[in-house]
Amino acid sequence: MDPVQPLLSWGGVARTRQLLTAGVRERELTRAVTAGRIGRPRPGIYALPGTDPLLVRCAATNSRLTCVSAATHHGLWILRRPEKIHVLRADGTLSAERAVVHRKSWLPGEPEGWVASKADVLLHALQCLPELEALVMVESASQQGFSMDFLRERLPGRRNAPARRILDLVDVGAESLLETLARTHLRRAGLRVEPQVDVRGVGSMDLLVEDCVDVETDGREHEAPKRRLKDYRRDNTAQALGFAVARFGYADIVHRPEEMVRQVREMVEARLRLGGLPRLDEL
């Protein structure tokens, strides 16, 4: 058997025993390594070129990526990359100096894979990460259709109360982690916020605050000239309908949220003083 095929199905990396059990012969492994089609990054470990080094570490330690370290493998948003690798290993024998070790599994991952199931990844994040970092991961899973009730049912008791409070912050419709963060900061400041409000002629507003301020959260895609031109036209239409418009980027929302909230609050107060607010039921 060509060793490339089983490696592809296992995320690009496997232990020698796995490959031999799958029917790959040792001479086929040697030929593939000599030809440069696969590598041997560590004794007893074979990997395809370009395989995630974290998966190689998991194969070497017989563990699985989980929590924030596994987020991108499941298409989940992350606020920042972790300083340490987060792994699932039932016996917890890895050094705490090199890894954050999670021991409990609720739903097994792929039998021969090196990444924990999405359920385990999310539950570990809820019990491990700071509130907002866990929130963006969980909310992105919600947008994928993952059940929040499934997570809540597996987090009983007083010890898991902080994790359940994070689930209470999840809302529908966010298209990016910036929307999730901005919405959370604005609501905590006492402002009424509706996400993804569709307005005729404008399109979908990221966040409509107090029915009068359209808050747009701009990622890198908004830097393209054609996208900026589209945004200008859209903002002009929103303002013509009576909405104030505020745009914030990554640095504003992630690093200066208090300033963002202050500016939005001032815009709301100024718009309310003018009176004659837009009637959403007429738009």
Whose CA is closest to 182, among 142, 228, 214, 155?
214
Q: Check whether residue 212 and residue 263 sit in a common domain.
A: yes
Instruction: Tell me the average pLDDT across 249-262.
Output: 96
Q: How many domains does the chain have?
A: 3
* CA 246 to chain centroid: 25
In this predicted structure, what is the pLDDT of residue 173? 83
- The average pLDDT across 262-277 equals 92
For residue 220, the 8-state DSSP code is: G
Question: Which residue has 């994928």 as its token pair?
Answer: 144
Task: Tell me what the pLDDT averaged over the chain comes to.
Answer: 91
* 239 contacts 274 by C-beta, under 8 angstroms: no
pLDDT digits (tens, 9 = 90+) for 80-125: 999 999 999 877 666 666 789 999 999 998 888 899 999 999 999 9
- Cα 109 to its chain centre, rounded Å, is 19
Domain boundary residue, one of 168, 187, 215 = 168
**Same domain (yes/no): 185, 269:** yes
> What span, in angstroms and rounded, lies between the C-alpha atoms of 133 and 149?
20
Q: Do both 35 and 91 map to the same domain? A: no
- Per-residue pLDDT band for 27 (boundaries 50, 70, 90) equals very high
Same domain, residue pair 65 and 163: yes
Residues 191 and 210 sit within 8 Å (Cβ to Cβ): yes
43 with 114, same domain: the answer is no
pLDDT above 70: percentage of residues in the chain: 94
The arithmetic mean of pLDDT across residues 224-229, rounded, is 71
pLDDT at 94 (0 to 100): 64
pLDDT, tens digit (0-9, with 9 covering 90-100), for 51-64: 999 999 999 888 99
SS3 211: coil
- Cα separation, 192 vs 189, whole angstroms: 9
- How confident is the model over 3-8, as a mean pLDDT? 92
93 and 42 assigned to the same domain: no
CA separation, residue 129 to residues 68, 121, 165, 207 (Å) = 8, 11, 13, 26
pLDDT above 80: residue 279: no
Per-residue pLDDT band for 223 (boundaries 50, 70, 90) equals low
